[in-house]
Amino acid sequence: MNLLYDTFDSPIGALTVAGNSQGIHHILFENNRYDAKGREHWQRDADALRDARTQLLQFLHGDRTGFELPLAPHGTEFQLRVWKALADIPFGETWSYVQLARHIGQPSASRAVGAANGRNPLPIVLPCHRVIGSSGALTGFGGGLETKAALLSLEARGHSLFA
């Protein structure tokens, strides 16, 4: 799929946003656990993704708590349900994988929910960083545990990561 993309510096390292007229398909960290397929066909167009860049930077500077972007993630039906449910986790709160599984009506699917969460193509906007282990421990995150901790700290403090 041909997508437009922009890469820019942020308080948590370089971010790449990719999308098209349908919406945003990917947000990638500098050292993403999973890479997006077909990147060799993407074309750089910072103007086309200006809103996404602006909103992400506003969030990371503590000036925004949610997003108003058209989203177009691609995944299985189950993954899409999990990713949609991530948007229900309130800013500044965390849920366990078990809570997320219950929220989608599949209380015994916490492992599958964890796997879907780990494949979230739109981190930060669909806040998979707000999902933690049942013990309260930080668990895997595509941008690394340090980034996950920084995002949770930002939400707890309610102001910029540049402090």
Q: Is 33 helix (H, G, I), strand (E, B) or coil?
A: coil
The CA distances from residue 62 to 117, 156, 159, in Å, are 24, 10, 4
Per the residue annotation, which of 128, 132, 150, 154 is the catalytic one? Answer: 128
Q: Among this protein's residues, is 112 annotated catalytic? A: no
CA atoms within 13 A on the CB side of 104: 27
Amino acid identity, residue 138?
L
DSSP H/E element including 4? strand 4-8
For residue 90 the two structure tokens come to 């309130």
DSSP letter for 5, please.
E
List the one residue out of 143, 10, 8, 140 whose CA is nearest residue 18: 8
So which residues are the catalytic ones?
128
